[in-house]
Amino acid sequence: MFDALFRNPMRLLVGLVVLLVILSQSLAIVPEDKQALILRFGEIERTVNRYKPNEDFGRSGAGLVLRVPFTDGIQYIDKRILGVNMERQQVLSTDQQRLQVDAFARFRITNPVRMYTAIRTEDKLQTQLATILGSSLRNELGKRTFATLLSAERGAVMDNIQVALNREANKYGAEIIDVRIKRADLPEGATLEAAYNRMRTARQQEAISIRAEGQKEAQIIRGGADGEAARIYAESFGKDPEFYDFYRAMQSYRQTFLGENNQGGTSIILSPDNEYLKRFQGG
């Protein structure tokens, strides 16, 4: 048989082509970052390299797989974390502020069978999740004020949106990993300018309050320090009156000749035997 094939090169070439076609229809390579559905006459026969939490890389079942030629098809589904961007939408908050909001979500397909059965392709799933994300965002922000988005409560808002989105995503075999608002802007014009003015006024009032509180605390601290200094002076006077007199004279000279800023430049004309200068005379 092989002699006959080698004597006729055309038969050999046709045989090789047929063999390659059969092999291409019998073997498939599933990458590490893909899940695969083996389809027989359009129905799911089995899954390969399906996502499992905390699985070890290289031991997930990816690689070469066998299938029935001309009968089994293969559908690849991404195993990585994917993203979906919501188109910029206008949302009305409870304080009647119209916001222009950009948001995105990250998700992973954890149940490829459910995903294929419910919506078929990843592109359709992303479109569906973007629609649900917009609806969840409008519902949640519609219960909040604009100031909420600028406060620590924003984290709770994101959590609520993620829970609502995840509940819907599970119906399509997906799991939401994260939801974030990229931007939340007021519309340009009078509305934005009025918001800036309100925020500026609020910050100025807060600064005045903080400054007044600081001055009050400074006065209390200064009063306590003066009292403590007076007590120490009184104690030192009782223990060593001569040293106390010398120390107070040095303080007085510094205040007199240097001034409050220790810059100097003060000119005083006194008699050499003036009592105030006795420390300079060794008295």
Q: In the chain, where are the structural domains located?
A: 29-78, 81-185
The Cα 145–Cα 143 span in angstroms is: 7
pLDDT in tens, 40-88: 988 999 999 999 888 877 777 888 999 888 889 999 999 999 999 988 8
Which residues on adjacent β-strands are paired with residue 101? Answer: 89, 184
Smallest Cα–Cα separation from 44: which of 63, 67, 22? 67
Residue 129 CA to residue 109 CA, distance in Å, equals 12
Q: How many Cβ atoms from other residues are within 10 Å of residue 144's Cβ?
A: 19
CB 172 within 8 A of CB 119: yes
CB 115 within 8 A of CB 109: yes
The pLDDT, as a whole number, for residue 101 is 87
Residue 27, beta-bridge partner list = 66
Closest by CA position to 79, among listed 102, 57, 105, 100: 57
Q: Looking at residue 86, what is its pLDDT?
A: 87
d(CA 51, CA 6): 48
- Per DSSP, what are the bridge partners of residue 43? 40
Q: Residue 42's pLDDT is what?
A: 85
Do residues 191 and 96 lie in contact, with contact meaning Cβ atoms separated by under 8 Å?
no
Query: Which pLDDT value is given to residue 275?
Result: 78
* Domain 81-185 in CATH 3.30.479.30: yes
What pLDDT is attached to residue 28? 92
What is the SS3 assignment for 142? coil
Q: What is the DSSP letter of 49?
A: S
The span from the CA of 229 to the CA of 194, in Å, is 52
Residue stretches of the chain with pLDDT short of 70:
1-7, 191, 259-266, 281-283
Rounded to 10°, the helix 154-169/122-141 angle is 140
The reported pLDDT for the residue numbered 262 is: 64
Res 2: pLDDT: 59
The one-letter amino acid at 67? R
DSSP assignment of 205-268, as one string? HHHHHHHHHHHHHHHHHHHHHHHHHHHHHHHHHHH-HHHHHHHHHHHHHHHHHHTTTT------
Q: What is the pLDDT of residues 191-214, one digit of tens each?
A: 678 778 888 999 999 999 999 999
Taking the alpha carbons at both ends of the chain, their separation in whole angstroms is 134
